[in-house]
A and B are shown apart, each in its own frame.
Chain A
Amino acid sequence: MEPSLARYIWRHTRKQQLWILMIVLLSMIPYFMSFDLPKLIVNGPIQGKGFEQPGATQPFMRLHYDLPFIGEVQFFSGFQLDRSATLLALSVVFLLLVVINGLFKLYINTYKGRLGERMLRRIRFDLVDRVLRFPPFYFKRVKSAEVATMVKDEVEPLGGFIGDAFLQPVLLGGQALTAMLFIMVQNFWLGTIAVVIVVIQIVLIPRMRRRLIVLGRERQLTARALSGRVGEIVDGIGAVHVHDTSNYERADIAARLGLIFKIRFDLYQWKFMVKFLNNFLAQLTPFLFYMIGGYLVIEGRLDVGQLVAVIGAYKDLPGPMKELIDWDQARQDVQVKYQQVVEQFTVDGVIAPTIGALTIDAPGPMTGPLSAIGLSIADDGGALLLDRISLQVKPGETVALVSTATGGAEALAEAFARLNRPKGGKVASGAHDLLELPEAVTGRRMSYASSDVFLFQASLRDNLLYGLKHAPLTSVTYDGAAADQRRWNIHEARRSGNPDHDIQSDWIDYASAGATGPHDLFEAVRRVLDAVILSRDILDLGLRSSADLTRHTELARRIVELRAALRTRLEHEGLSGLVVPFEPGAYNKEATIGQNLLFGAAAGPELADRALAANPYFASVLSQAGLDRTLYEMGMEIADQAIELFADLPPDHQFFQQLAFMSAEEIPAYETLLQRLKNRPYEAVSENDRAMIVTLSFAYIEPRHRFGLLSDELMSKIVAARNGFYENLPPELQNAVERYDPAKYIAAATVMDNVLFGRVGNNHPDAPDRIRSIVYDILDELGLYAEVLDVGLDFNVGSGGRRLTGGQRQKLDVARALLKRPDFLILNRPLSALDQRMQDKVLQNVLEEARRDGHSPAIVWVVTNPAMGMMFDRVVVFDSGQLVEDGTHETLLAESGIFKELLS
C-alpha cells in the first residue's frame, strides 16, 4: 500500500480536490466583499460621509473599472439613492453576502464530507482486501480483534481528514491571509502587530503539539492491544475458567486500562495547556488593537471606521488560524495512524490479485495428477515437517495417508489445500504449479476438510452452501425504488473503488453440487448429510425449533394429518397414555394451570411467562370466572409448601432444579411476602402482590407436584375461563397469543410441540425417547422428513459454530467438502472427534457418496487409524517427515514394515 497518506489521497481524489479548491477560491470573492461592507456602511450612511448636503444622493451599484490603456470604462451608472435608502441598500447587500457565504460553506462542507466518506470506504475495503490476500502463515501471528480494530476504528479519523486534506489549508490560509491583508491595508502598524502574534502562534503551538502526537500514537497502540486481549479472553473463555485465571485476566485488563488512562489523561492535560496558550495569544491581539488603535484614533491618525473594520477583521483571524493549526495537528495525527495501519498490512508474499479474481464461468475439471515434487515443509519454528518427499495422486485414485506421530501427512494435506507454503520443492497439478492456479480452479475443483473446522455465525444451511458461493451467477432485476437504490449502490461502489457485485444475487453454484437450481439442491444436501450421518441430529434440531412458515408451508398445511397419524400410531401401540392431547373443551392434566388457562402459545412478551398474571385483561377474565380468589389461595398454598420444603437449602442445592414455581433467589422475597399476606383478607391485597402469588399457581401440574390442589370443579372453571378469555380478546392482544387449534399450525411453538399437540405424561420416564422415535417414523411415512430437516437447517450454529458439538462441526465440514463434487477431495483427519466405529461408517458412506452417479474423484484421506487404509486403493505411510511405504493395503501388510507395526 502507498506509504504516504498525502500521496494516497492525491492519487484517488485529485480531480475532486482541484474542483473543491476552485470553488473555495471562488468563495473568497464574496468573503472579501463582506469585510469591506461594514466600513462602507459606518462611514457612508451612518456617519454621513458623502451626504453632507440634505437631499444628497450617491450612486449605488455603479459598475466601472479602470482598465489599462483604455482608461475608465463605465458599464452601469448606478441608482441614485439618498442617505437612508443607501443604508437600507447596503444592509441588504450585507445580508445577501451572508447568504452567499453560507451557501458556499454548505456546498463545500457537503462536498468534502462525501469525499472523505468515499475515501474511508476505499481505505477500509483496501484493508479487508489485503486481509483476504494475506499469505496463510501470517494469520498465525495476528490477533483477529486487532485487525478488526484497525479496519474499523483506527482508519475512521482518516475519513474526516481526507475532505480537509488539501482544502483546509487553502481555505483557512486564504481566509487568514485575506483578513491579514485587510488589516494591513487599513493600518500598517496594527497589521504588523497581528503578524507578529500569528508568527509566534505558528512557531510555538506545533512544537508543543509534538508531544501530543507521540501520546496519540501510544494511545492507538495500547487501545489496539486492549481490543486484542479482549478478543482473546472471549475466544479462550473456557481456558480462563478451567484454570481459575479470571483474576489474572482481570489484573491484566486493569493494568492495561490504567496505562491507557495515564496516556489519555496526559493527552488531556497537554491539549488544554496548548489550548490555553493559544487562546491567550489570540486574545492578546485585540488588547493591543484597543490600546494602540485607540491611541491612533485619539491622535487622529486613524478614523473610527477603520478601527472598527480592523477589529471586525481580526475577529475572523484567530478562528482560521486556530483551525489551521488544528488541521496541521490532525494531519500529523492521521499520518501517524495511517502509517501504523499500513505497516501492519504490509506483508511479504501477499497473494496476487489474479489468484482470487472473480470468475463466473465454471472452470474445466482438473485432469492432471496432483503431485508433490521434492516437497519440504517447515513449521513456524523452522523444523522440517516433510523432507523432500515426492508423491503422485492420479485422478480417481483413493489414497489413505497413514502417519506416525511425527509423520507429516497432515502437512502434506495442508500443502495440497494450499494452506501451507512449501519451503522447498513444489506441489503441482498436471504441469502447473498448484500455487499459480487461480482459486477459481482450486476452490471449485478441489475440496478440503480437516479436524480444525471453522463455521460462520449463520444457519446450518448457509454454512453448508458456503463452499458453493464463488460468484454472483444471476443478475437480479430491480423495480422502482429498489432499482434506484441498486444504481446508487453501483455508482457509489465504483466511486470508492469497491466491487459492485450484487450480494443479493444467487451465488450458489448449483451445477457443481449436481443440481440444476434451488428446487433440487435439497436432494444433494440431504445425500451428503446422510453420508456423514448428520441428518438425525439436524432433524432433532428441526423438531426443537419453530419453523419459518413462509418457507415451510407444507408443514403447516399437513399438520392435521400429522397429528392424526401420531394419535393413531400411539393407540395402535397401546401408548395413548404417553401423550395427553390438547382439547379445546377439556382440561389437560399434564399441562400447567397457566397453559390450561391461556390454551395457546404466547407470541409476544405481553402474555409470556410472568407477564401473564400481571396482564390486566387476563386478571379481569380470571375474576369474571370466579377464579381470581381460588388461584390466589392456591398460590398461597404453593408458596407455603415450597418455602417449607426449600427454605433451609443453600441456593446452589441441586434440588432447586425440581422447583418449577420460583428460583432459589426468589425464596426470601416470597418468604416475606407470605408473612405479610398470611392473615390479610383477599380484598386488602394489592394488585401486584396478587399477581406475584397467582403466578405461582400457573406453574402447577397436579401429577407432577402432587399437592392435591386440583378439583374437578376448578378444572371446569378453568376451561370456561379459557373460552371467556378468547371471546373478548382486545385488539392489542390479538397478536400476543396463538390459540391452540387442533386444525391449525402454531407458529410460535416448536415443530415437536406442534406434532404432539399435547403434553407428554410426567410419570413415564422413557416417554420422550419413545415418542421421538415414533415421530421420526411418522415424518418418514408422510414424506415430511425432508421438510423438518429443512427446518433444522435454519438452525444458527452460533459464533464459530459453537452451538454444535465438535463431532457435528466436523461432520458438517466433510459434508460441505462433499457437496462440491470436486475432482480432488482432500480430508485431513476430518473426523477426529468421532469414535472409531462412527469414523469407519462415515468413511464408507463418504467413499460411496463421492462416487455416486459415475463420479470418480481422487480422495486423499489422512486417516486416524491405519486400519481404515483397507478401504482405499493405495496406502502411503509417513514417518519422521519421510515417505516410507507406498502400496496397496495387502502388499504393505505382506511387507511387515512400519504399516504392519502401526496396525498391531
Chain B
Amino acid sequence: MLLKDEVGMLQRVPLFSGIEPTKLKLLAFTSDRVSYAAGQILFRQGDEGDAAYVILSGRADILVDSDSGPIKVAELLPNSIVGEIAILCNSSRTATVRAASPVEALRIHKDHFLRLMKEFPEMTIEMVRVLADRLSHTTADLIDARSANNE
C-alpha cells in the first residue's frame, strides 16, 4: 500500500475527515507503517501510551483483563483508530489490542498526534465530538444496566 492509498484510508477515518489531504499525507509519511501477524500484540493493558494506531487492513480484538482472564470487548475493523485515549490522558493503556488476522497499521507517534491536534482545531473538535458521543453511549449503557439490575 502506498502513501497515497493510506491518505485515502485516513480520509475515511471520521476523526481525520475534516483535515485537508496534504496534511493527512504528512501525517501518514511521518507515521510508521507496521505489520503484525495474527495473534501478535499491538500494545498491552497497563503499558505506557506512546502511539495511536490506524488499522489499514485486517482485524484486531480489544481485550480487557478480568479475574477470569481477558475478555474481548470490541473488534477493530479497517479505518478505525485505537489507542488515542491513552495519548490524550497521558495514562496507561486501558485495554490490550491483539491482531485477529494479519494486520497492517499506521503507528502515529504521541508527539505527532498532539501536534496535529494543536494545529487543526477541526480535528480537535471532531475528537471531542467522538468522545462526547462515546460518553453518551456509555451513559445510556449504564442506565440500561442499572434499570436491568433494579428489575
Contact = CB atoms under 8 A, between A and B. Distances in A.
Nearest to B30: A658
B57 to A, nearest CB: 13
Interface string B29-54: 11011110000000000000000000
Nearest to B107: A765
Given A645-B25, A646-B26, A763 B2 contact: no
Contact of A764 (B4, B22, B34, B111): B34
A605 to B, nearest CB: 31
Nearest to B42: A765
Contacts of A897: none
B111 A654 contact: yes
Contact of B2 (A708, A762, A765): A708
Contact of B1 (A653, A706, A764, A765): A706
A762 B32 contact: yes
- Size bin of chain A's contact surface: 10 to 19
Interface residues of B, number: 19
B135 interface: no
A430 B1 CA distance: 79
A654 B33 contact: no
Interface in B10-29: 22, 25-26, 28-29
A704 B29 CA distance: 9
A705 B30 contact: no
Interface in B71-121: 107, 111-112, 115
Contacts of B33: 703-704, 706, 762-763
Nearest to A703: B33
B3 interface: yes
A706 B3 contact: yes
B83 to A, nearest CB: 13
B98 to A, nearest CB: 14
B22 A644 contact: yes
User: Can you list the 3 inter-chain pairs with the closest CB atoms, starting with the nearest?
Assistant: A708-B2, A658-B30, A706-B3
A765 B34 contact: yes
A763 B112 contact: no
Nearest to B25: A645
Interface in A650-706: 653-655, 658, 703-706
A550 B128 CA distance: 63
Contacts of B28: 706
A706 B29 CA distance: 8
B3 A707 contact: yes
Interface in A701-753: 703-708
Given A644-B22, A658-B30, A762-B33, A707 B112 contact: no
A763 B3 contact: no
Interface of A: 644-646, 653-655, 658, 703-708, 762-765
B35 A764 contact: yes
B6 interface: yes
A705 B3 contact: yes
Given A645-B25, A706-B1, A763 B30 contact: no
Nearest to B111: A654
A599 B64 CA distance: 47
Contacts of B26: 645-646, 655
A317 B2 CA distance: 91
Given A644-B22, A706-B1, A655 B30 contact: yes
Nearest to B28: A706
A706 B2 contact: yes
A707 B115 CA distance: 24
Contact of B3 (A653, A654, A708): A708
29 contacts: A644-B22, A644-B25, A645-B26, A645-B29, A646-B26, A654-B111, A654-B112, A654-B115, A655-B112, A655-B115, A658-B29, A658-B30, A703-B33, A705-B29, A706-B6, A706-B28, A706-B29, A706-B33, A708-B2, A708-B3, A708-B4, A762-B33, A763-B33, A763-B34, A763-B35, A764-B34, A764-B35, A765-B32, A765-B34
A653 B109 CA distance: 14
Contacts of B22: 644-645
A764 B112 CA distance: 19
B19 to A, nearest CB: 14
A643 to B, nearest CB: 11
A326 to B, nearest CB: 68
Nearest to B115: A654
Contacts of B2: 706-708
Contacts of A765: 32, 34, 107
A710 to B, nearest CB: 11
A661 B69 CA distance: 47
B3 to A, nearest CB: 4
B32 A763 contact: yes
Question: Which of B1, B29, B34, B35: most chain A CB closer than 10 A?
Answer: B29
Contacts of B25: 644-645
A764 B107 CA distance: 11
Contacts of A658: 29-30
A791 to B, nearest CB: 31
Contacts of A646: 26
Given A655-B30, A655-B112, A762-B32, 9 more contacts: A645-B22, A653-B115, A654-B111, A658-B29, A706-B2, A706-B6, A707-B3, A708-B3, A763-B34
Interface in B101-151: 107, 111-112, 115
Contacts of B6: 706
Question: Which of A653, A655, A708: most chain B CB closer than 10 A?
Answer: A655
Contacts of A763: 32-35
A373 B116 CA distance: 69
A677 to B, nearest CB: 22
A646 B23 CA distance: 10
A764 B104 CA distance: 10
Question: Which of B2, B30, B107: most chain A CB closer than 10 A?
Answer: B30
Contacts of B111: 654
A741 B3 CA distance: 34
A427 B38 CA distance: 69
A706 B107 CA distance: 14
Nearest to A765: B34
A711 B6 CA distance: 19
B21 to A, nearest CB: 11
Contacts of A645: 22, 25-26, 29
B140 to A, nearest CB: 37
A706 B22 CA distance: 15
